Amino acid sequence: MDYRHVPPILLADAPGLDFLNSIATPVDEPVDWIADGEGLLSWLEQAQLVPADVIAHVRSHSARAELDEAATKARGLREWFRAFVQTRKGKPLTAKDLSELAPLNQVLRRDEQHGEIVADATAANGLAFGMQRRWPNAEALLMPVVEALAKLVCEEDFTYVKACEGLKCTLLFADHTRGHARRWCSMAICGNRAKVAAHRARLKEGKGA
């Protein structure tokens, strides 16, 4: 089955964690949605981190090797940041963690953003100030990802960053539920599997009684 045509898993309630979940095990085998350049383009578009018109432009103006190289860098960034999250989830971040985030700041310094006055129908005078980004090459596609990771670090309480309790699940999520009682990536996936397993266990115990 070609998983490039399957919608990515976007259940983390935080774009930065959705990026970490771009490799997952939806059934039995691990699936990497950014295994190559085309996969990266597809994932970025479906995650709505990069506008569709930008995706189309980059796809038509970049060599396959350039796109594949960008995907390789994205995977490297993903696995580095996954290690950071795994060792710090469940407890708040502090300023002491800043030194470990140097790789993010290094990439952010290369970002080509600029301010621009744009039309805005919701503004009183029809104008608004917004940030725009230049996309000079395929590697620039990583900028919204790095920005999402930086915002995760600065805006999310890592106390409530959790790993799904599913037996084989590798998904991470931000628990924004009341009481912070979320245990599963999704009740429809791992939550349902846990219910079925618990039901079977009860039946087995009943027969053995």
Q: For residue range 14-66, list pLDDT tens digits in order.
A: 999 999 999 998 767 889 999 999 999 999 999 999 999 999 999 999 999 99
Residue 23 parent element (H or E): strand 23-24
Distance CA 209, CA 201 (A): 12
The whole-angstrom separation of Cα 146 and Cα 17 is 11
SS3 of residue 12 by DSSP: coil
DSSP state of 125: T
pLDDT at 1: 46
SS3 10: coil
The length of the chain, given as a count of residues: 209
Residues 6+ apart with CB under 8 A from 181: 175
Burial class for 25, CB neighbours closer than 10 Å (0-12, 13-18, 19+):
middle
End-to-end CA distance of the chain: 44
Query: Structure tokens of 38?
Result: 């085309």
Provide mean pLDDT across the span 182-202.
70
DSSP state letter for 74? H
| pLDDT tens-digit map of 134-150 | 999 999 999 999 999 99
| pLDDT at res. 7 | 85
